[in-house]
Chains A and B, each alone.
Chain A
Amino acid sequence: MKNFLFQSRTLFFGISLITLLGGMGLYINFMHLIDKNNEAIRHIEIERAHRVSQTIVSKLHENTFYNLLQSYKTQDISDRISTLLSYYCNHEFKYVYILYKDAKGDYRYLADGSVESDRSNVNQKFIPTAPLLLQKALDEKEDVYDLVSNADGLWLTYLSPIMNKGVVESILVLDISTQEYEAFSNIVIPLSRSLNLFLVVLCGLFLVIIIQGGMFYKQVKRSMVDSLTKLHNRHYLNYLLSQRNIDTMIPLVIDIDHFKNVNDTYGHIAGDKVISYVARQMMFATRIGDHIIRFGGEEFLILLSDSKSDNDIIQIAERIRESIGNKPVRIDDTLNLTVTISIGINLSRKNIPLMESIKKADEMLYEAKENGRNRIEVFKD
């Protein structure tokens, strides 16, 4: 039975575990994919920003007004550069502007290509949300970028220092909108939520399967176990008969002698105590791998492994018979009963169906009864 239960339980557990692991694997893969895609989108945006900034910087260097603006920071000159910058403003690069650092160390607008409503005046003070990033662009004279977390509709800010003879004279800023990122997120977030839900459902199902499996295990165990003796019952024998490699087992059919008299004289409670006692003694005498089955009312079947020798089997049977016959069963404080058992064994090693083999052992039991009881009769080829 252990095998059967183990197999069915393992099957249940295995399927649900595989499903759960599969779901988790799917989730991890998906999250990894999101990560990779995010990286890729960011990389593409940074590449684009780099190309655009290079183009703008080269256009600025060609523009005489830009050189003029460095010396004369007036609104009309700034407006001309702002117009140039505005050509590069679009849904992706939402704001394109140039900043400079004044003598006090404050950042100010030099030109701004943003739409009219967002356009800043020349020399307007710029309050940087990430001052260190601006300083980094100035110090390292390299393009830098960062995620923008405190601005509405912006994802990344890209800073490109504008150099003149090795000196950074201003910084070109490209504010990249969340549009591209949101387009991706709009697809990914519902998918991610669905996957989360799927995983939660899967975990719930797994839990249900575990509970159901446990309940099924208990139910099957209960249906195959005799409630009085805790030995296996006939259902279990039926299950055993459906298994492979069972036909070679050696059957011992055991019957309590004059059990009807015990029941009739001392009652069913006493009878039950006798049966329980006999069952216990059989359990003590056998080993794991042997099967003990309550076959009928006072009849038991022991199936021993065929790896045991004939002598060993007879010794086991003898030990059971002696242990039961030698010690009285305590029914209550005033009554002790001595019972005996008869055993029929089929030691034939021929590969015949187990039921046939049991039938032969049963015939031997009948012979033991005929020959005076409290004895063992053995069939050999």
Chain B
Amino acid sequence: MKTIIACCLSATLLFSLDVLQVKAQIVSKIAHAFVLKDIINIYISEQDDLAQVKGMDSSLLYTSYEEADIAFIDKKRSSTESKNERYIFSTSYYLYQNDPHVIGTFFWQKGRPTILIKSSILKEKGIVLPDEFTKYEE
């Protein structure tokens, strides 16, 4: 019992301290699942809270939206910017639902990470993700 409580407490405290690290890990995992390159060009909107993870993974090179292999956006981009070869993730559920170019979403809700991926786009583009992402597909 003591162990459970201690684990729970430490996990809770650690988790609360390391939310940023968890976010950085998830961003890294998503990027590496979609883009099969050692160094990935990534874009995260400066205004987004997620931008705090910048620099936490040396394999992710933060670039402009145009040069990015994968982008995490917080507002809809113009269709000319949304090239097919770029994977677009949103940081809000609304954008995920309403922007057909957005392939997935990652945001922090109710103290937990929420990840959702559109399986229709995955099929359309012939993307096969690691098994651990299956539960996020819809």
Write the residues of chain A forming the contact surface with B, with a CB cutoff of 8 angstroms. Answer: 31, 34-35, 38-39, 94-95, 106, 114, 118, 120-121, 124-125, 127, 129, 147-155, 175, 178, 181, 185
Q: List 14 A-B contacts (CB under 8 A).
A: A34-B2, A95-B110, A95-B111, A106-B138, A118-B109, A125-B116, A127-B115, A127-B136, A150-B15, A152-B111, A154-B110, A155-B8, A155-B12, A185-B9
Apart from A35-B5, A154-B110, list 9 A-B contacts with CB within 8 A. Answer: A38-B1, A118-B110, A125-B138, A127-B116, A149-B15, A150-B15, A152-B111, A175-B111, A181-B9
In B1-59, the 8 Å CB interface with A consists of 1-2, 4-5, 7-9, 11-12, 15-16, 19
CB distance from A160 to the nearest CB of B (A): 17
- Give the contacting residue for A151; candidates B4, B110, B138; CB below 8 A: B110
Give the CA-CA distance A313 to B74 in the complex, in Å.
108
Count how many chain B residues have C-beta atoms less than 8 Å from C-beta atoms of the other chain: 25
Given contacts A35-B1, A120-B109, A129-B112, contact A152 B93 (CB under 8 A): no
Asked whether B64 is an interface residue with its Cβ less than 8 Å from the other chain, the reply is no
In the bound complex, residues from chain A placing their C-beta under 8 Å from that of B112 are: 129, 150-152, 154
In the bound complex, residues from chain B placing their C-beta under 8 Å from that of A148 are: 12
CB distance from B35 to the nearest CB of A (A): 23
Given contacts A147-B8, A152-B15, contact A121 B97 (CB under 8 A): yes
CB distance from A100 to the nearest CB of B (A): 15
Complex: chain A residue closest to B9, CB-CB: A185
Complex: chain A residue closest to B112, CB-CB: A151
In B116-138, the 8 Å CB interface with A consists of 116, 135-136, 138
Of A94, A152, A154, most buried by chain B (CB within 10 Å of CB) is A152
The 10 A-B pairs at the shortest CB distance, nearest first, are namely A152-B111, A149-B11, A151-B111, A151-B112, A95-B110, A153-B111, A125-B138, A147-B8, A118-B110, A152-B16
- Give the contacting residue for B19; candidates A38, A127, A152, A175; CB below 8 A: A152
Give the CA-CA distance A281 to B87 in the complex, in Å.
102
CB distance from A187 to the nearest CB of B (A): 13
Give the CA-CA distance A153 to B112 in the complex, in Å.
9
- Give the contacting residue for B8; candidates A31, A127, A149; CB below 8 A: A149
- Give the contacting residue for A31; candidates B2, B12, B15; CB below 8 A: B2
Contact B114 A127 (CB under 8 A): yes
Contact B110 A150 (CB under 8 A): no
CB distance from A12 to the nearest CB of B (A): 34
Give the CA-CA distance A155 to B12 in the complex, in Å.
8
Give the CA-CA distance A120 to B114 in the complex, in Å.
10
Give the CA-CA distance A151 to B12 in the complex, in Å.
7
In the bound complex, residues from chain B placing their C-beta under 8 Å from that of A152 are: 12, 15-16, 19, 111-112
Give the CA-CA distance A39 to B5 in the complex, in Å.
10
In the bound complex, residues from chain B placing their C-beta under 8 Å from that of A175 are: 110-111
In the bound complex, residues from chain B placing their C-beta under 8 Å from that of A120 are: 93, 109-110
Give the CA-CA distance A127 to B110 in the complex, in Å.
12
Give the CA-CA distance A293 to B2 in the complex, in Å.
60
In the bound complex, residues from chain B placing their C-beta under 8 Å from that of A151 are: 15, 110-112
CB distance from B88 to the nearest CB of A (A): 19
In the bound complex, residues from chain B placing their C-beta under 8 Å from that of A129 are: 112
Contact B93 A121 (CB under 8 A): yes
Given contacts A35-B1, A95-B110, A127-B135, contact A149 B97 (CB under 8 A): no
CB distance from B26 to the nearest CB of A (A): 12
Contact B11 A150 (CB under 8 A): yes
Contact B7 A149 (CB under 8 A): yes
In the bound complex, residues from chain B placing their C-beta under 8 Å from that of A155 are: 8, 12
Residues 49-89 of B, flagged 1 when their CB comes within 8 A of A and 0 if not, give: 00000000000000000000000000000000000000000
Contact A153 B7 (CB under 8 A): no
Complex: chain B residue closest to A102, CB-CB: B138
In the bound complex, residues from chain B placing their C-beta under 8 Å from that of A125 are: 116, 138
CB distance from A180 to the nearest CB of B (A): 13
In the bound complex, residues from chain B placing their C-beta under 8 Å from that of A185 are: 9
